[in-house]
Chains A and B, each alone.
Chain A
């Protein structure tokens, strides 16, 4: 059985860490916190990957908690979502290796919970406790135009995530649903509502193909959803002539409290989850098709001591595809390595 080994603990934040997000290609981790800062971490040297240090602190951009941070696909920009109801856009200045807040996006009525860049880097999505999802177009000179304000969730929207290679957005909400958003001639609309969770959906992630979604909920389960196109062989109805998602697998009994985060590796297909029960779990797929099965292959109890774990993220590329980053209420981010035995 594979197991998780601790690679490094990154200490420095003055409050809980909400997210730890990998740079799209480099060994740099961005963490955001209740202390209103983002910290960037990198190994002290290429030869010693166990010794990480804080290489930048992004501060002064937000008056309240930074709940979410997202790298642009190029890695030259970052977006920060804050409880102060604004989204910060940060640009890397290569001359002095510093990060500067170059734009602030306003419009949401209250706390922003999540921000995400599309795979092309052309679109940005944000969501808020005000129940809305906003889609922004990235223009030249750090200009952002709001393309659409989507108001179909009936409660606080917790997370937005883009399809890995298409301009399709998914959002997860306190109203217990996930919604899929598509564009039709500059008009964004909800093409599907995924119902099944019995409490808040905190997080979701697509698989590498984009044909599956995994979601994590306060109901202590993970659900795997499969996309069915119109006229599918299985006879799943698609009333609006858009693809529809159905739950094909529910993972229950693994976490004893709210599951705050889930990550589906684009490299090795493993799913990792993090929970308020202080545990990280890694699942592997044992059967595919319309009735896939998954089993837990590695567990770390008390991964952040007695504290909740708020986020888990697989390294995005082959280079360190076995690396996992976690963020905890203890103010610490951790890096783990999945070790396959023999």
Chain B
């Protein structure tokens, strides 16, 4: 099968992207709100459905495009498909949603959107990714769930390693 994007640009992952643990991280008395770095950590090692590369290496997820509002229990993740007609955009967004569904505290409401102007079906992709009924139905599809889990195995491995 021909790849949709045969030669994606691979980005150098910066060492600065890796969150450095501070002493207070281990102090139970210090309130440690969830921040965008922590959300980024959860997402950066998810595998692309097509390439043996991570969403970070493909620049699909970027730290500065994650917004966390702890007081309002809200997370917004904007992602950038590798090409404007990427048919994998919904699947990538679904992987991001499932990862956060499984990892973040239940109190968070998560919105996932294609970064403005980076996909030709931006509105359709956004609408589908934020319709929880369609997400629930998609996750009851065994084949689709397998694909999602496959993309998330690298993320899970990464999280354990830290």
B3 within 8 A of A: no
Is there an interface contact between A306 and B73, defined as CB atoms closer than 8 Å? Answer: yes
Report the minimal beta-carbon distance from B47 to chain A, rounded to whole angstroms. Answer: 27
Tell me which residues from 128 to 155 in chain B have a Cβ below 8 Å from any Cβ of chain A: 130-134, 136-137, 140
- A1 to B57: give the CA distance in the assembly, Å: 57
Is there an interface contact between B106 and A34, defined as CB atoms closer than 8 Å? Answer: no
Main DSSP-derived SS at the A contact region: loop
Could you say which of B109, B134, B136 contacts A276, with CB atoms under 8 Å apart?
Answer: B109
B107 within 8 A of A: yes
B127 within 8 A of A: yes
Is there an interface contact between B109 and A83, defined as CB atoms closer than 8 Å? Answer: no
Is there an interface contact between A129 and B134, defined as CB atoms closer than 8 Å? Answer: yes
Nearest CB in chain B to that of A302: its residue? B107
A199 within 8 A of B: yes
A246 within 8 A of B: no
Encode A11-52 as 1/0 by CB contact (under 8 A) with B. Answer: 000001000000000000000001000000000000000000
A113 within 8 A of B: yes
Beyond A257-B109, A308-B132, is A129–B127 a contact (Cβ under 8 Å)?
Answer: no
Complex contacts, B130 vs chain A, CB 8 Å: 218
- A34 to B135: give the CA distance in the assembly, Å: 12
- A158 to B107: give the CA distance in the assembly, Å: 26
Is there an interface contact between B107 and A306, defined as CB atoms closer than 8 Å? Answer: yes
A174 within 8 A of B: yes
Could you say which of A83, A158, A276 contacts B140, with CB atoms under 8 Å apart?
Answer: A83
Interface residues on A, range: 20 to 34
A263 within 8 A of B: no
Could you say which of A16, A65, A306, A307 contacts B137, with CB atoms under 8 Å apart?
Answer: A65
Beyond A174-B127, A200-B127, A200-B131, is A307–B136 a contact (Cβ under 8 Å)?
Answer: no
- A110 to B136: give the CA distance in the assembly, Å: 13
Complex contacts, B133 vs chain A, CB 8 Å: 67, 113, 158
Beyond A174-B127, A174-B131, A308-B132, is A83–B137 a contact (Cβ under 8 Å)?
Answer: yes
Is there an interface contact between B109 and A65, defined as CB atoms closer than 8 Å? Answer: no
Complex contacts, A34 vs chain B, CB 8 Å: 136
- A211 to B127: give the CA distance in the assembly, Å: 31
Is there an interface contact between B127 and A307, defined as CB atoms closer than 8 Å? Answer: no
Could you say which of B106, B127, B132, B136 contacts A306, with CB atoms under 8 Å apart?
Answer: B106
A322 within 8 A of B: no
Nearest CB in chain B to that of A277: its residue? B109
Report the minimal beta-carbon distance from B125 to chain A, rounded to whole angstroms. Answer: 14
Complex contacts, B136 vs chain A, CB 8 Å: 16, 34, 65, 83
- A200 to B131: give the CA distance in the assembly, Å: 9
Complex contacts, B106 vs chain A, CB 8 Å: 306-307
Tell me which residues from 100 to 143 in chain B have a Cβ below 8 Å from any Cβ of chain A: 106-107, 109, 127, 130-134, 136-137, 140
List 6 contacting pairs A-B, 8 Å CB cutoff, sorted by A: A34-B136, A83-B137, A174-B127, A199-B127, A218-B130, A306-B73
- Kindly list 10 other residue pairs between chains A and B, CB separation below 8 angstroms, not including A16-B136, A83-B136, A307-B106: A65-B136, A110-B137, A129-B137, A156-B134, A174-B127, A199-B127, A200-B127, A218-B131, A276-B109, A306-B107
